[in-house]
Amino acid sequence: MERRHFLQQGLALGTGGLVISGSMLGLVRLLAPREVHASTQVIPLPGALADPAAFAAACIGCGLCGEVCPPRCIVFYRRDGAREVNTPYINPEDKSCILCGKCMAVCPTNALSITPREKIKMGFARIDRTACYPWVDRGVCGACVSVCPLGDKAIGFDFGNFYRPVVKDGCVGCGQCVEVCPEPSLPIRIAQPGQQVPRKEYKVHPL
């Protein structure tokens, strides 16, 4: 009887230990910085090296770009492998770039180079015409047009088409249009070179 009681106690303690360990693991995962999921937009910083691998190799993860960023739009990879840990990116759904150039000026390596804002290449905005308010005849919006730091060179109204917004050649992909868009589905997004976007939904511009 004593042996059976001892085994039962040991089994109970072992089970309890597993439960506690599992709970701790779950807690650690909850407290850890979130990963970047496929549904989240990720765009490079202004002036970044065009090749992501070259950028990751050049970036030393110092964090200075994030420290000087006025809108605090620069965030850092945390759990995506040794090469990308502490390298910066921007998610315009949360906060977009204002093209102030401070991150480029403070970067101690060639990961970011000082670039005139009209020549910056962070991507190119594309509009989903099946969800954008003006394009589905739900009134005039114009939030994306009004907030663009490059003005009519990057995005404007097609006055011959009932004031619907169209992206122009001057777009550099800063993402301010994404941040300000009032439609929950975010029908305007920043595309990267080579990224496939359905032609039937977007005004496609060659990158």
Question: What residue spans define the domains of the chain?
Answer: 36-116, 123-207
Burial class of residue 28 (count of CB atoms within 10 Å of its CB; 0-12, 13-18, 19+): exposed
Residues 86 and 79: their CA atoms lie apart, in Å, by 9
Closest Cα to residue 59, out of 122, 108, 121? 108
Q: How far is CA 193 from the centre of its chain?
A: 15
Per-residue pLDDT of the chain (207 residues; tens, 9 = 90+): 454 444 445 444 444 444 343 343 333 323 434 444 444 689 999 999 999 999 999 999 999 999 999 999 999 998 655 567 889 999 999 999 999 999 999 999 999 999 999 999 999 999 999 999 899 887 778 999 999 999 999 999 987 777 899 999 999 999 999 999 999 989 999 998 655 544 334 443 333
pLDDT given at position 198? 43
Written as six digits, the tokens of 111 are 């990961």
pLDDT given at position 81? 53
Say which residues have a Cβ less than 8 Å from residue 135's Cβ, sequence separation at least 6.
127, 129, 164, 187
Same fold, 36-116 and 123-207: yes
Closest Cα to residue 188, out of 145, 138, 158? 145
Q: How many other C-beta atoms can be found within 10 angstroms of the C-beta atom of residue 196?
A: 7
pLDDT given at position 137? 82
Regarding pTM above 0.85, the answer is no
End-to-end CA distance of the chain: 78
For the domain covering 36-116, report its CATH number: 3.30.70.20
Half-sphere exposure of residue 105: CA atoms within 13 angstroms, side-chain side: 9
Q: Say if domain 123-207 classifies as CATH 3.30.70.20.
A: yes
Written as six digits, the tokens of 130 are 């099946």
pLDDT given at position 80? 56
Residues 102 and 191: their CA atoms lie apart, in Å, by 24
pLDDT given at position 2? 52
Yes or no: say if 38 and 31 are a contact pair by the CB < 8 Å rule.
no
